[in-house]
Amino acid sequence: MPFQEPGPAHRPRIRRLGAVVALLTALLLAAPLVPPGRLFSPLGYLPLHTALEFAAMAVSVMVFALSWNLRHQPLNSHLVLLGAAFLSVGLIDFGHALTYPAMPGMLGDSGPQLTLDFWLSGRAIAALGLFAAAVLPVRSWPPAAAVAATIGAVALSALVWWLSLFHGDWLPRNVTPAGELTAFKIGTEYALSATYFLAALLMLRRRGDWAGANLHFLAAGAWVLGLGELLFTLYVQPGDVVNFAAHLYKTLAYIMLYRALFVAGVVAPHKALRQNKAELAHIAHHDALTGLPNRLLVETRLRALLAPARRAEGALLLLDLDAFKNVNESLGHAAGDELLRLVALRLAGVLPAGALLGRMGGDEFAVLADEVRDDAGATALAQAMIAALKGAFVLGGGQELHIGTSIGICRFPQDGDTVDQVIRNADAALYEAKAESHGAFRFYTRALTERVSHRVEMERRLRGGIARGEFALHYQPLVRASDGAVVGAEALLRWLPPGEPAAPAGSFIKVAEDTGLIVPLGEWGLREACRQMKAWRDAGLALDVMAVNLSPQQFKRPDVVETVAEALKAAGLDPAALELEITESGLMGAEIEATLRALKALGVQLAIDDFGTGYSSLAYLKRFPVDKVKIDRSFVHDIPDDAKGVEIAAAVVALGKALGLEVLAEGVETEGQLAHLRRLGCHTLQGYLLGKPMPAEEMASLLRGDTAALHRLQLFGAPAAAAGSAGEPALSVA
């Protein structure tokens, strides 16, 4: 909207402007009381008159230049209109100044008639332009309209010059032979004054549409021009007090017009641009969710502290919220966002003076403390932040959450003298803290660099191993507790680097999960397990189910149902022969139930792995369409000597039977465990006592009943498994 200057700051300016206009109006009322008499001689007044006229012409040209430069802007109709009008006014006022009495006769004989012809023409165009701006609606004109308006303004000015210089006898007389103003001249001035006043009033009436100080200045300029025209009807001779005052009114009015148009078109947009730049700079350096400095600003401040000119000492603390993903997945991202804001407030409350708290992204925060210069200070700060986050967080919906944090600390410059080094080393310490326990903090040490390097090298080798097909599946028997028959197999991932022994999943699965490589590995393992199961069945080997463990990352992918369906279709395997194992930690999230039901609709079996180690096991059994629960090895390990372990195993078996679920116990390593689990009524057993994970060919021999394979199944009265055969976790193939 043209002439708009947003914000409440314009109100004092409008009040001051109103006071000036009221004063000028009051002075006009006193003009008839001014005694007649010349204030300046004709030659003495000429330079002052010329200066005032050229100042007005300069403003006219500036208005035109402004409108021309803004011709591409939307809602430009009034700027184009006023720009063209004042271009014409400026050109005509130039003729008025050159033909003023006592000016050199460059355009012929100067005199009152000729100069007033130019004067009245210019005033009429200015009045009509302001009136049109007051009554016409604001529109967006094409840039070509500015070209047409400019051509029209020049043509109109040329017409006025032509008439005034060459056909002045066609125009009405402005002065009598005695040098007095004619009734036409005075009447025209009154008409022009009325037009100016009406334009000003109409503009103010529309101020609700054109909110801002600039419209008020435009209206004030029109009003003061009207006052000046009235003064021009009262003067007796050029150079008297009233004539000089009228020129001052005109000059002041043009200043108001300049204020309205130039400020609206240039200054106000420049201010808005600076404000937008400041806002963009704030947005670029601050986190939109919490309002904290973002990673870019933290790095900028850290770089300044590490600069050679300053070389400050301090510490960077990186914080990562424990199990934050569970909040997003169980309560939704809105709850997670609210929790992050509450965490930011709590952390800010325990920071020392001068410390910078920032959000690095996700659930990771950073504290840059250049006043913390020793281990004791960093330890105290880390402990204060851990303690601050231990209390319950109550969300707006009434949910009460408990969340902790892990912290990695890097001191600078002794443990890093560049931004990348400090952040990388703090991140390595954070990784170490998270790996050891929740609610812990660790300082960076040189040894961590070696571990990180090992992890990076492991990731590189994993990527290469996937590309070269160095992975295979081993299969561990699932044994029916009642008679020792092998009824199924669990597929377990193995890495077979050339020239090296087979690596179990436990040696690389964490890196695969952290880097996302678990997804392609899991999809390959799923397809390979389905293919192998179909091959065994086609070979006549009796096996009821192939168990495949889906990692939480793979299970929560939106295409997991399609992935499973494609694997079954590619292998030609009956869906009922595939059992998908999902850990309890993978069952948290709003969309999990829908995913489980979609998988169940395919016809596959569903099992909860590591049952009892999570937080909502009973709720899962009630909500989700599962077929089997697996008693975690931690509850089997001390059976039958540990009473609590026995009670937990008995409770899970009883619960499974009550709900019509199959119960499998994993980690069976001793005959005592075997006997007790059979007495409890456990349906299926798995463990090193009954069979270690083995290649597909060895598993096939077991299923065929070869003598060497049958020896593994001497379940009753057989010696205990060899010492040192610690059970292997049911590690993911996916």
- The per-residue pLDDT for range 516-573, each reduced to its tens digit, is 889 999 999 999 999 999 999 999 998 999 999 998 888 888 899 999 999 999 999 9
**Among 509, 567, 575, residue whose Cα is nearest residue 733:** 509
pLDDT value at residue 531:
97
Backbone angles phi, psi at 692, to 5 degrees: -80, 165
**Above 60 in pLDDT, residue 455?**
yes
- AA letter at 502: A
pLDDT value at residue 398:
83
* Cα(613)–Cα(616) distance, integer angstroms: 9
Could you write out the DSSP letters of every residue in 335-363?
Answer: HHHHHHHHHHHHHHTTPPTT-EEEEEETT
- The per-residue pLDDT for range 465-502, each reduced to its tens digit, is 889 989 999 999 999 998 888 999 999 999 998 888 88
* Cα(395)–Cα(342) distance, integer angstroms: 9
- CB-CB contact of 650 with 630 (8 Å): no
**Above 90 in pLDDT, residue 246?**
no
- Residue 7 pLDDT level (bands cut at 50, 70, 90): very low
Task: Copy the structure tokens of residue 344.
Answer: 């930011």
The residue ranking higher by pLDDT, 241 or 425, is 425
* Cα(344)–Cα(382) distance, integer angstroms: 15
Domains and CATH numbers, the chain: 42-277 (1.20.1070), 295-444 (3.30.70.270), 456-713 (3.20.20.450)
Burial bucket for residue 393 (CB in 10 Å: 0-12, 13-18, 19+)? middle
- The per-residue pLDDT for range 106-159, each reduced to its tens digit, is 666 667 889 899 999 999 999 999 999 889 888 889 989 999 999 999 999 999
Helix or strand holding residue 216 (H, E): helix 213-232
**Above 90 in pLDDT, residue 92?**
yes
| Secondary structure class of 182 (helix, strand, coil) | coil
* Cα(208)–Cα(226) distance, integer angstroms: 23
**Among 615, 612, 598, residue whose Cα is nearest residue 664:** 612
* β-strand partners of 578: 546
State how beta strands 662-666 and 628-631 pair: parallel
Instruction: Look at 10-19, 608-617, 653-662 and tell me which has the smallest mean pLDDT.
Output: 608-617
- Residue 709 pLDDT level (bands cut at 50, 70, 90): very low
CA distances (Å), 382 to each of 54, 347, 421, 447, in order? 72, 10, 20, 21
- Three-state secondary structure along 518-565? HHHHHHHHHHHHHHHHHHHHHCCCCCCEEEEEECHHHHCCCCHHHHHH
* Cα(580)–Cα(617) distance, integer angstroms: 17
pLDDT value at residue 729:
35
pTM: 0.50
Query: In the chain, what percentage of residues exceed pLDDT 90?
Result: 41
- The per-residue pLDDT for range 662-690, each reduced to its tens digit, is 999 999 999 889 999 999 999 999 999 99
Task: Copy the structure tokens of residue 664.
Answer: 């499998």
- The per-residue pLDDT for range 22-65, each reduced to its tens digit, is 999 988 887 777 666 566 666 667 888 888 888 889 888 888 88
* Cα(679)–Cα(651) distance, integer angstroms: 13
* Cα(381)–Cα(332) distance, integer angstroms: 31
Could you write out the DSSP letters of every residue in 579-615?
Answer: EEEEEGGGG-STTHHHHHHHHHHHT-EEEEEEETSSS
- Residue 721 pLDDT level (bands cut at 50, 70, 90): very low
